[in-house]
Chains A and B, each alone.
Chain A
């Protein structure tokens, strides 16, 4: 059974720092991996998606890497800003994809960027 774990559970950093959030999964048979952002009272916003055949994806100050064989992904946030404060969730879509693309989620990393 696929399990997704995220470390650390919480992180507090001063503005401007570069930081790394970690995600690990127990079964390397995945279709893709996604990073989401969750703000209080808001929905889940997809940040980056990495297909199982890819090694990394970048969007602005965000870079996500995937090492499928070791069951790990990292989300790198460059030059963090207070507006980056949120909970970051990692989710994997199992292989084979079948008729559905259900996602299996980690518990998230709660990030606070202090001005």
Chain B
């Protein structure tokens, strides 16, 4: 069964360092998402991406965050200067169509990248 792959599974970094989290979505999917989950808290939407541009972003997704699809297969989330509060599990998801909520177009999530900022 096709799956979304995320790397690294766990990254530890110092505050102020740049971090890039990588995702390989399912190959025929067109819509891509990043969510995060701080330990003990709810999963939160960060950003959605389609046709090489951001379609929506949350207020969490400030200037420190950026996303890119550099080569048609990878989908990356960059945090420019990490803060302690960026420590969380980051989930990438993809879907075939604009409507990830119906039938076969349900979002498929990766296993997550755990980011620890010291």
Residue interface mask A47-69, B partner, CB < 8 A = 1 = 00101000000000000000000
Summed over the interface, the residue pairs from A and B with CB atoms below 8 Å come to a total of 65
A34 proximal to B (CB < 8 A): yes
Q: Which residues of B contact A45 (CB under 8 A)?
A: 109
The answer to whether B102 touches A34, judged by C-beta atoms less than 8 angstroms apart, is no
Which residue of the partner chain, among B55, B106, B110, contacts A49 with CB atoms under 8 Å?
A: B106
- Categorize the interface residue count of chain B: 20 to 34
Q: Which residues of B contact A105 (CB under 8 A)?
A: 42-44
Q: With A and B bound together, what is the CA distance between A32 and B43 in angstroms?
A: 17
A12 proximal to B (CB < 8 A): no
Residue of B whose beta carbon sits closest to that of A3:
B42
The answer to whether B109 touches A100, judged by C-beta atoms less than 8 angstroms apart, is no
The answer to whether B55 touches A103, judged by C-beta atoms less than 8 angstroms apart, is no
Residue of B whose beta carbon sits closest to that of A30:
B101
Count of chain A residues near B, Cβ 8 A: 26
Q: Which residues of A contact B109 (CB under 8 A)?
A: 43-45
Using a CB–CB cutoff of 8 Å, the interface residues on chain B facing chain A are 4, 33, 35, 41-45, 48, 50, 55-56, 58, 91, 93, 95, 98-102, 106-112
Using a CB–CB cutoff of 8 Å, the interface residues on chain A facing chain B are 4, 31-32, 34, 41-46, 49, 51, 89, 91, 93, 97-107
What are 7 A-B contacts defined by CB distance under 8 Å?
A34-B101, A99-B98, A100-B56, A102-B33, A102-B45, A103-B35, A103-B45
